[in-house]
Amino acid sequence: METQVAQVAMTVNGTPRRATVEPRKTLADTLREDFGLTGTHLGCEHGVCGACTVLVDGAAIRACLMFAVQADGSEVVTVEGLAPAGGGLSAVQRAFREEHGLQCGFCTPGFVVSLTAYLRDHPMPSGAELRDALSGNLCRCTGYQGIIAAARRAAGGMEDQ
Amino acid sequence: MKAAPFCYHRPGTVAEAVETLAAFGDGAKVLAGGQSLVPLMALRLARAEHLVDLGRIAALRYVRGAADSVAVGAMTVQAAAGRDPVIAASVPLLARAIPFIGHFQVRNRGTVGGSCAHADPSAEIPAVAVTLDAELEASGRGRPRLIPAAKFFTSTFTTSLEPDEVLTALHFPVWPGRSGFAVREFARRRGDFAVAGAVCAVTLGQGERIERVAIGLLGLGAVPLRAAAAERAATGTAAGDLDVTEIGHLAVADTDPPDDVHATPGYRRRVGVAMAARALTAALEEAAHG
């Protein structure tokens, strides 16, 4: 069978990027291997764990369930693109640090990206809504209490702003 | 786990998609939102030589309300359908089913049509389509056709779509009058496929009698089911006299639920009874009090 390759172009964290990829290459692998953005982590590679969550045209999605060719022409934001320019942490990142919302840190990019998108759309969630929103991300250290505490703090912080 | 190699096609129109499907026959698969197909390909449970991506066919993303029905383009993303004001007002059952689908990240990519074409028997949108007697519109090399939901889902992961056909839209009838709608399902964890669930639409008439009722079941067979015997028993009964648990038992009586690691057939049936009773109760409550 012929091995087809495709040219893809997308904006990643505000920077135009191009790559030549096999159509079977996921957006997650393209971000990591072609663009060197290894903040997007791959846990399960079949849409269960949420570690690879990124924003595509503003929507939080699982980057292992999207081929890079599908993201051609899109605007992508990864965990590397959340912090303000010039250093420092975003409100969500700061909350994770302050509440010890991570243990080994592998799942953290997915949680941070998911929560950033969720709080943008739902600035004042209840505790139950936050747990529901974070249910699509898995932490194998089971450090969920710290993550929920971080999410609450980030939600409160966003209220203040 | 990576998908096996394939050739990628990105048609701009339905006609082009149909031509591509026809050209490659069994070697081709349609890619909608990819939230079921891509994991299956990553696990190598599904394989395609040619993948036909409908993602750039803008004409398949719409919600159009008419007096007695609402048309939803097949590539409408589930999240968009879930916050659409026309769907919320005219097909509340669909709006209420959507939050049960996976997690919000999945609903941001998964599509209304893709969920139906994939035809998982525990999926929510197919159950809503069967319950409301929706019609599914398909385009192939012949004339476009409308398929009643009851004839669309033929078995687990199997539909009556022809290999060259693309599902283009779903047409949901609007239930007028004093109607209520509810979805209830049980899953072991939020976002998992349901062990069993029920979706219900009901209309009250004179004397608070049930004028019309539809009860659909998910996860209890090879396809989404209608609880015909339960519907017959409930129709014409005064809402206050109805024994919803008895209706729940009638609803699951003829089912043959799957047996797997998640639940035995008997347990699924018991969950089905409870879900049908709860959905009916909630739908009746809404029909009576708004």
- Cβ distance of A23 and B108 shorter than 8 Å: no
A121 and A52 Cβ atoms separated by less than 8 Å: no
Together in a domain, B146 and B189: no
Superfamily of domain A91-160 in CATH is [2Fe-2S]-binding domain (1.10.150.120)
CA distance from start to end of chain B: 49
A:B CB pairs within 8 Å: 92
- pLDDT higher than 70, residue A90: yes
- CATH code, domain with B34: 3.30.43.10
Q: What is the rounded CA–CA span in Å between residue B123 and residue B92?
A: 17
* Closest CA–CA distance from residue B166 to any residue of chain A (Å): 19
- CA-CA distance, A66 to A81, in Å (whole number)? 19
CA atoms within 13 A on the CB side of B80: 16
In this structure, are B22 and B79 located in the same domain?
no
Query: Which residue in the set B7, B39, B190 is minimally distant from A132, CB to CB?
Result: B190
Joined together, the tokens standing for residue B12 give 């701009």
Q: Tell me, what's the pLDDT at A161?
A: 41
B110 is a domain residue: yes
Residues B36 and B90 in one domain: no
Pick the last residue of a domain from B127, B155, B173. B173
Find which of A25, A62, A76 to mutate to test the B interface (most B CBs within 10 Å of its CB): A62
Whether residue B230 sits in one domain with residue B149: no
Whether B2 is covered by a domain: the verdict is no
Of B283, B105, B125, the residue nearest B194 (C-alpha):
B125
- Asked which of B38, B53, B68 is the last residue of a domain, the reply is B53
Counting as low any pLDDT under 50, the low residues of chain B are none
- Note the pLDDT of residue A2: 54
> Which among A2, A46, A70 has CB closest to B1?
A46
Domain ranges of chain A: 6-80, 91-160
Q: Which of A2, A23, A50 sits opposite B105 (nearest CB)?
A: A50
Residue with tokens 């790559």: A19
pLDDT class of A158 with cuts at 50, 70, 90:
low
**Domain contains B1:** no
Residue-range definition of the domain harbouring residue B212: 178-289
Contact partners, residue B41, CB within 8 Å, separation at least 6: A24, B3, B4, B47, B48
Distance CA B56, CA B48 (A): 19
- Indicate if B143 and B208 belong to the same structural domain: no
What domain count does chain B have? 3
Tell me the pLDDT tens digit for each residue of A39-71.
Answer: 999 999 999 999 999 999 999 999 999 999 999
E-strand stretches of B6-110 = 7-9, 28-31, 50-53, 63-65, 69-73
Contact between chains at A24 and B5 (C-beta distance less than 8 A): yes
Residue B241 sits in the same domain as residue B144: no
Distance CA B153, CA A70 (A): 28
pLDDT of residue B33: 98
| B245 and B205 housed in the same domain | yes
Residue B75 domain-assigned (yes or no): yes
pLDDT at A160 over 90: no
- Which phi and psi angles does A77 have, rounded to 5°? -125, 125
Where residue A1 falls among pLDDT bands split at 50, 70, 90? very low
Cα torsion B42, B47, B48, B49: sign: positive
- Which of A49, A74, A75, A77 has the alpha carbon at shortest distance from A62? A49
Q: Report the C-alpha gap between B135 and B11 in whole angstroms.
A: 25
Q: How far apart are the first and last CA of chain A?
A: 56
- B226 domain residue, yes or no: yes
Q: What are phi and psi of A152, to 5 degrees?
A: -65, -45
Are B282 and B182 contacting, i.e. CB atoms less than 8 angstroms apart? yes
CB contact at 8 A, A90 and A109: no
Q: Reply yes or no on domain A6-80 having CATH 3.10.20.30.
A: yes
A-chain CB neighbours of B55 within 8 Å are 70
Name the residue facing A61 among B5, B53, B105 (closest C-beta): B105
Asked if B167 and B186 sit in the same domain, the reply is: no
Nearest to B255 by CA among B245, B246, B267, B238: B267
Q: Are residues B240 and B270 in the same domain?
A: yes
**Which of B105, B108, B120 to probe by mutation at the A interface, max A CB count within 10 Å?**
B105
Residues A136, B105: C-beta atoms closer than 8 Å: yes
Looking at residue A4, what is its pLDDT? 87
Q: Which residues pair with B148 in a beta bridge?
A: B135
Instruction: Determine whether the interchain pair A3/B5 forms a contact, defined as Cβ–Cβ distance below 8 Å.
Output: yes
Answer for the pair B289, B202: CB distance below 8 angstroms, yes or no: no
C-alpha span between A139 and A114 (Å, rounded): 13
d(CA B205, CA A46): 48
Over residues B84-141, the pLDDT tens digits come to 999 999 999 999 999 999 999 999 999 999 999 999 999 999 999 999 999 999 999 9
Of B6, B39, B104, Cβ closest to residue A65: B39
**B69 to chain A nearest CA, in Å?**
29
Residue A157: pLDDT band with limits 50, 70, 90: low
DSSP string spanning B115-176? HHHHT-TT-HHHHHHHHTT-EEEEE-SS--EEEEHHHHEEETTEES--TT-EEEEEEEEP--
Looking at the fold, whether B202 and B224 belong to one and the same domain comes out as: yes
Tell me whether residue B12 is exposed, middle or buried, using C-beta atoms within 10 angstroms of its C-beta: 0 to 12, 13 to 18, 19 or more: exposed
